[in-house]
Amino acid sequence: MARQYSHTQFFRHVPNALLKHYFQIKHNVLQDVDFAKLKESEVEPVFKALMALSFELQTEIEAETTGHRQYGLSERCDGLDGRSKLLPGSGVSRSHYQV
């Protein structure tokens, strides 16, 4: 049975380096979040910053990330890495985020 989507659960399953690249490069948001200082499971600052975005942008981001609700990131990261638009230069290899 599929889990209900949760931003915080999703953020906990994606490495901070990939989250940073996704938000700061793809969407040019969350520039004030220092992903390098966050622990991998520390998602509250990311969630709070996401909630401060416009409703339209939150909706767009949620639409991109809800397709990954099963956390099969190795198979379904087209929204995050653009197969592989975000990974080059991000410092994150595919093997880093495969679950």
**CB distance 91 to 19 below 8 Å:** no
Structure confidence at residue 2 (pLDDT): 58
| 97 inside domain | no
Structure confidence at residue 68 (pLDDT): 54
**CA 99 and chain centroid, separation:** 14
Q: What is the mean pLDDT of each run of 10 residues along the chain (99 residues)?
A: 74 92 92 94 94 94 71 44 46 45
Helix (H) or strand (E) holding 12: helix 7-12
Mean pLDDT of the chain: 75
| 53 inside domain | yes
Domain that holds residue 16: 7-91
- Give pLDDT tens digits for 9-32: 889 989 999 999 999 998 999 999
| 66 inside domain | yes
pTM for the structure as a whole: 0.65
| 98 inside domain | no
Domain count, the chain: 1
| CA-angle at 85, arms to 24 and 58, nearest 5° | 40
| 38 inside domain | yes
Structure confidence at residue 64 (pLDDT): 85
| 79 inside domain | yes
| 41 inside domain | yes
Helix (H) or strand (E) holding 61: helix 55-66
Q: What is the 3-state secondary structure (H, E, C) of 76-96?
A: CCHHHHCCCCCCCCCCCCHHH
